[in-house]
């Protein structure tokens, strides 16, 4: 891709090592692996994958900017929702996929300000490198809070309180499915002349086929035009595990995506798979594996269905803009005086990015799934769209 920046020689060498690991896997699997497996190695293989290696990913020097990296107001707003859950449960916070640790930091500093700190803030992070960075950052920027933090290797058996994840489900490996002429195929990855290439296989059974058959995108069931999209079994399985673990409290996930009817819309026939490299988005996952982020939008209907199947209640689904307003973003902004433009104007620009429908306000959603919670979650008090997520999947 000539238009994208060239990597440094060590980065190129790293990508070649990732390619070698994927090629080895393809050879060992008879010449084909699912795209989900390709994505899992490219993103998460220990020491090699995009998230596991020491690359800078977040912010201006990396490949993309997430909401917590953009503004401390994001974590400060979520603190209002966290405070409600902590008051009702007396529990802890468990953050999944904490990235640079910025959200954890902003959230805990705001909870301290409100005198509402949880006894423990646990982080479940797949990447050993990021775990180390999170610990170092919190130790440096809020050493007084560090004793409350712990890093987990696996989910606990039981948990009460708030489970939180921002842009985590989109980083879980998604299967690619193509519907064509009344048949369903899985898109996977093969090799030819030392290069990765797409190869389809008919789906002959299993959960992927069951879900694909329940989702025939309108107009593509019998025609010759192919319709390709993603089904994220890993994200569904993860939500089920969280659902089984949660005794009392709420799971709050924020990410970009839609409900199933919009996700599998006839006009979205090429799916939602995206790659991010140095702040440029493109659609070639075979470009420099290990050096770029791979992501698929989240199907919030499937997320809700998986969690409710594990006994949770869908207690809110809203645009990020509505969620943040309900959590008091405007009041947080008002803490800074407009008469101090050097402090105020950057915050206004951040709020615009978080809230504007043309930026993150509408594409990004917040979803809440709860157990034994007696109050309506604060973040969904207005603008709740739970009714737009059809359940169960077989009704789609």
Ligand X SMILES: C[S@@+](CC[C@H](N)C(=O)[O-])C[C@H]1O[C@@H](n2cnc3c(N)ncnc32)[C@H](O)[C@@H]1O
Q: Least distance in Å: CB of 130 to ligand X?
A: 5
Neighbouring C-alpha atoms within 13 Å toward the C-beta of 323: 32
Give the integer Cα–Cα distance in Å for 214 and 135: 44
Out of 105, 171, 296, 307, point to the residue binding ligand X (CB under 6 A): 171
> What is the footprint of ligand X within residues 107-146 (CB under 6 A)?
124-127, 130
Give the integer Cα–Cα distance in Å for 228 and 189: 15
Binding mask 253-292 for ligand X (x = CB under 6 A): ----------------------------------------
> What is the footprint of ligand X within residues 90-109 (CB under 6 A)?
96-99, 103
Pick from 352, 350, 172: which is nearest to 257 by CA? 172
Whole-Å CA distances, 351 to 67, 99, 201, 346, 361: 10, 21, 46, 9, 10
Binding mask 190-229 for ligand X (x = CB under 6 A): ----------------------------------------
Q: Least distance in Å: CB of 239 to ligand X?
A: 11
Residue with smaller CB distance to ligand X, 171 or 302:
171
Reduced to 3 states, what is the DSSP secondary structure of residue 5? coil
Q: Which stretch binds ligand X (CB under 6 A): 161-169, 200-208, 303-311, 366-374?
A: 161-169
Residue with smaller CB distance to ligand X, 164 or 288:
164
Residue nearest to ligand X (CB): 97
Q: Which stretch binds ligand X (CB under 6 A): 168-176, 182-190, 242-250, 322-330?
A: 168-176
Q: Does 77 bind ligand X (CB under 6 A)?
A: no
Out of 19, 41, 63, 69, point to the residue binding ligand X (CB under 6 A): 69
Q: Least distance in Å: CB of 106 to ligand X?
A: 11
Q: Least distance in Å: CB of 344 to ligand X?
A: 25
Phi, psi (rounded to 5 degrees) for 170 = -70, -15
Give the integer Cα–Cα distance in Å for 396 and 93: 34
CB 267 within 8 A of CB 229: no
Burial letters for 354-376: b for 16+ Cβ neighbours within 10 Å, e otherwise? bbeeeebbeebbbbbbbbebeee
Give the integer Cα–Cα distance in Å for 101 and 95: 10
Residue 316, H or E segment: strand 313-319
How many residues touch ligand X under the rule CB under 6 A: the total is: 20
Out of 40, 106, 110, 167, point to the residue binding ligand X (CB under 6 A): 167
Residues of this chain that interact with ligand X (CB under 6 A) are 51, 58, 66, 68-69, 96-99, 103, 124-127, 130, 166-168, 171-172
């Amino acid at each position: 891709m000539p238009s994208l920046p060239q990597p440094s020689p060590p980065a190129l060498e790293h990508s070649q090592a990732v390619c070698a690991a994927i090629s080895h896997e393809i050879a060992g699997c008879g010449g084909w692996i699912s795209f989900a497996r390709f994505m899992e190695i490219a993103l998460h293989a220990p020491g090699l994958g995009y998230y596991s290696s020491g690359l800078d990913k977040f912010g201006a020097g990396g490949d993309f900017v997430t909401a917590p990296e953009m503004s401390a107001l994001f974590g400060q707003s979520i603190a209002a929702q966290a405070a409600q859950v902590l008051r009702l449960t007396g529990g802890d916070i468990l953050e999944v996929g904490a990235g640079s640790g910025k959200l954890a930091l902003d959230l805990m500093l705001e909870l301290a300000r409100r005198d509402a700190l949880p006894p423990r803030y646990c982080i479940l992070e797949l990447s050993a490198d990021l775990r180390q960075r999170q610990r170092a950052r919190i130790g440096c920027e809020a050493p007084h809070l560090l004793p409350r933090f712990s890093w987990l290797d696996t989910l606990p058996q039981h948990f009460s309180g708030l489970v939180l994840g921002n842009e985590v489900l989109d980083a879980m490996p998604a299967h690619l499915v193509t519907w064509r002429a009344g048949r369903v195929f899985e898109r996977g990855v093969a090799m030819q002349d030392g290069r990765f290439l797409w190869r389809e296989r008919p789906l002959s059974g299993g959960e992927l086929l069951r879900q694909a058959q329940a989702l025939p995108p309108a107009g593509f069931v019998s025609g010759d035009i192919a319709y390709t999209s993603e089904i994220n079994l890993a994200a569904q399985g993860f939500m089920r595990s969280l659902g089984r673990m949660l005794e009392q409290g709420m799971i709050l996930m924020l990410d970009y995506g839609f409900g199933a009817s919009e996700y599998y819309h006839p006009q979205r026939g090429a799916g939602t798979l995206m790659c991010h490299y140095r702040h440029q988005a493109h659609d070639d996952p075979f470009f420099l594996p290990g050096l770029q982020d791979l992501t698929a939008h989240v199907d919030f209907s499937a997320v809700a269905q998986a969690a409710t199947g594990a006994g949770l209640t869908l207690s809110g689904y809203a645009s990020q803009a509505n969620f943040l307003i309900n959590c008091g973003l405007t009041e947080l902004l008002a803490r800074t005086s407009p008469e101090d433009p050097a402090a105020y104007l950057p915050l206004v620009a951040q709020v615009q990015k978080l809230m504007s429908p043309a930026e993150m306000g509408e594409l990004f959603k917040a979803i809440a799934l709860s157990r034994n919670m007696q109050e309506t979650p604060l973040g969904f008090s207005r603008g709740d769209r739970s009714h737009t997520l059809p359940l169960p999947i077989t009704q789609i």
